[in-house]
Amino acid sequence: MYGFSKFYRYPLPLLILSLWLLAVLLLSEQPAYSQHSVISNKEKYQSTLLVKRIMPSTLTENVRKTVLENGLTVLTKEVHTAPVVTVQVWYKVGSRNEEPGVNGIAHQLEHMMFKGTRNRPIQFGRLFSALGSDSNAFTSYDQTAYYGTVERNKLKALLVLEADRMQNSQIEPEQLASEKRVVISELQGYENSPEYRLNRAVMQAVFPNHAYGLPVGGTKADVEKFEVEQVEKYYRNFYNPDNAVLVIVGDFQTANTLETIKETFGKIGRGQGAGGKGQGAGSRGQGAGVISPSSPSLSTHYSALTTQHSLLSTQHGLNAPLPLIALSTPIVLREPGVGRLLQVVYPLPDANQPDVPALDVMDYILTEGRNSRLYQALVESGLASEVTASVTSLRESGWYEVLVTAGSKQDLKKIDSMLSSAIANVAEKGVTSEEVEQAKTQLIADVILSNRDITSQAMRLGTDETTAGDYRYTDRYLAAVRLVRPTDVVNVINKYLTKEARTVGFFEPTQKLITEVSDKPDSAQTTENFSPLAPVLPSEVMKYLPPVDLATDAIAQVLPQEFKFTNGLRILLLPDRSTPTVTLSGHIQAGTEFDPDNKAGLAAFVAENLLNGTNNKDVLTIAKVLAERGASLDFQTHREGVHIEGDSLAEDLPILVEVLADVVKNSTFPVKELELHRQQTLTDLQLELDEPSEVARRIFVQSIYPKKHPLHTFPTEESLQQIQRQDVIDFKAKHYRPDTTVLALVGDFDLDIVRSLIKNEFGDWEVSGQAPTLKYPTVSMPEKIVSVNPVLPDKTQAVTYMGYTGINRYDPRFHAALVLNQILGGDTLSSRLGAEVRDRQGLSYGIYSYFQAGKNAGTFLIEMQTSPEDSSKAIASTREILQQIHQQGVTALEVETAKRTLISNYNVSLANPEELTDRILMNEVYGLDKVELHSFTDKIQKVTLDQVNQAARELLHPDKIVVVTAGPSVLAEKNIR
């Protein structure tokens, strides 16, 4: 669970905003660019149009700020579009309050905050799960945040739990020892990434005497030394109401809720020293016991490694610039791995400076999209397969980071030279007004599109209040962005992106490239003895669960309108006026299941090249059309279909639909673009085959499904080289058809207008004959345990997949299986697997189970990440739990708790426009009735204990299971079976 979170620009919309948001608010009350006394009438007119088109009102117009007598800041925002509410507690402390020797203690404490309190000595994850709360936490540079989103009648219960752990958390020696193992496993997962290792080396060089140069998650050496007294002192110093911000957004009444907050939080006393004030100076070496600042951001949310753009601090008074160090020669890491990486870091000012809006606009011009300057110079030329960048603005400093993944056989020095030349060229020749206006439009649209659900809106408020000291920061930041001019962009490039100021890092892999993964497993029978473990007692959970308000209104059951055109295209439309945006999801029956054996990767080749040119527009024109409106369109290939994802502001929907129709009907697949994509895909393949999770997944699937099965095939270097342009054209003509396509749209639109729009764009899309079909062969269960242990040299964390074939979506046991899975491994903190393997024994950073049920063959799997030395024990414990549930079943209280969790989580998901649109889409793809959108919860509610236990007997097979563990060579030495 607890994951490192260094967010890049758009993939994590809720927190990305802190990236842009960081910098400008601390401009005091003066206009952002007061030094520019004159702005042309044309620029004023363009900015006015932008304001009217994208920003009809401020993002914080109905936010109320209240400060309790004990210093707790409360931000409330009523949003009555869905019967859900989010509760978030943000503490103004993070890894920046650390120093060598205690690096990672903020993140360690975040883990411990789930371990229970004096009043509730129980894993809080189980309490959140029982409430049906989508809860998690993260640690960053300047804050640690805890958040949960629930149905509105559970608001008070969440407040009670957060108030309890603000003042009563217990740090027990045994639990700390267990959770330290979990954190170390997490850190080992980051160490698997060459990108992480390179970034750590470069940042330590940039900040040799400041905690910004320390890794946010800490180091294994420091984590191993943490003592109970250290963690308790950190908790007492910083976890106080006067050092915290409580944010509530959703369907509630402010007056009543404030009274509840005063009852629950108002009794908590202020902290001694006002939340550790005076402990947070930035430089190292301030004396024993003084904790000082640190670096990126650790997130409890999910278990994947992502990257954080930027989060800043709100504390004032430390205005002296940091002594950032630029090295004259590159840092070179020659370590095991594949793929060459180049990282360049340029020092930037702190968040108080007025240059940040221009820097963010600059970043979009340099790296956002196919038309961006660095993409054209590095990727289109074939030198690189990918280029990403981010502006980070913090309390005491900032930096601009550019990361380049080299193309196959490309030299890093040459790439570095081209990067410097491209930036120098922009500084010399300038940028156009068109580029600036497009970047501003994209940036502002991204902010709006990333704040459509209540969790995201609360995240923005929490970030702004804790890092910039003002929840209105976003509005002021966007106002400053709108004033950015071409000369401002050139000025910041000349000021900050100088060759003398930068620090450069090269990652040069030392191991031989991996070209394929063996699919020949070894078989062996395990010899573990199954000693039944004491199951989690749901009665204990209910004992400590705060009371829930039973009085709540029924959820309005609004259903989408379905239309089918004469060519077979189906569309589902659900108007939603809550935000001026539209979310589009689509499905085309053209997935990897149709890949030929010798040309695996063909389906993805087609989908990923659709936007590279049509009869009407070339690739750059298509990219420009979308970028000018801040709209996005993407195609992702899955085994049973191609998934379409699109977002736009409401008035730009015609542009989005027009581009979508053009690329699916008229794509031409230019030779140049196909070859560039092939080289990028080959580079990506090499990187994937260096990832334990990808290697484990591939071998797991190929160990379950035999050759010639539609799911067995994965791309290889040989298969990708076999794909010709005519193959792409033929596949597209055969599988991209209106009668196998479904579109779903949710947003601010008129039904009749959108129906006519889609008919006009797609009505002439015709094909002949019947759509291709596949018949999946029957796959039998393994006769015994099949164990495979691929070795990836010098990796520090192991990844295990366990499972076998499962059920499809139409299986009568489907809903019972969902309840069973929730009990088994649906949550890494509250499930049987999570409670035992992760929480009690501390063997896994994250462990989950799934029933992947599609139209055809399904798969049951368990996924976990472990330290290599813990893999064998974790696998054995997992099998013990499977055996226990298979033989003994589960309890009635577990079933009721799981059902309540599933129903609540489902209702919460419907408040997110992206999740709602996807659910509408997939119900149609599976041929389910439209009422399934709301009848799903009734079906879950009707599941009985007998049905769940029958599913356990029929679907759990601990002695007939495939176990694949990918990781370092120690695994082979231990001979895991």
**Cross-strand bridge partners of residue 802:** 862, 963
Contact 99, 290 (CB under 8 A): yes
Cα 807 from chain centroid (whole Å)? 28
Burial class of residue 326 (count of CB atoms within 10 Å of its CB; 0-12, 13-18, 19+): middle
Spans in the chain with pLDDT lower than 50? 1-56, 274-321, 515, 519-533, 972-977
CA dist 704 and 792 (Å) reads 21
The secondary structure of 196-258 as a DSSP string is HHHHHHHHHHH-TTBGGGS-TT--HHHHHH--HHHHHHHHHHH-SGGGEEEEEEESS-HHHHH
Phi, psi for residue 805 in degrees, rounded to 5: -65, 150
Report pLDDT for 280.
37
pLDDT at residue 1, as a whole number = 39
CB 642 within 8 A of CB 579: no
**According to the model, what pLDDT value does residue 578 have?**
85
Judged on CB neighbours under 10 Å (0-12, 13-18, 19+), 61 is exposed
- State residue 587's pLDDT score: 98
pTM metric for this prediction: 0.86
* Other CB atoms within 10 A of residue 273 CB: 15
Tokens of 590: 């053209």
> C-alpha distances in angstroms, 892 versus 306, 420, 813?
38, 65, 18
The whole-number pLDDT of residue 735 equals 96
User: Rounded to whole angstroms, how far apart are CA atoms 18 and 308?
Assistant: 9
Report how far residue 82's alpha carbon sits from residue 668's, in angstroms, rounded to the nearest whole number: 43
Residues 785 and 523: their CA atoms lie apart, in Å, by 7
Cα dihedral angle (746, 749, 754, 757), rounded to 10 degrees? -120
Helix, strand, coil abundance in the chain, percent, nearest 5: 45, 20, 40
Cβ atoms 248, 86 nearer than 8 A: yes
Long-range contacts of 426-429 (CB under 8 A, 24+ apart): 426/365, 426/366, 426/373, 426/490, 426/493, 427/490, 427/493, 427/494, 427/497
- Residues in Cβ contact with 242 at an 8 Å cutoff, skipping those fewer than 6 apart: 70, 71, 72, 270, 271, 274, 275
Q: Is 843:187 a contact under the CB 8 Å cutoff? A: no
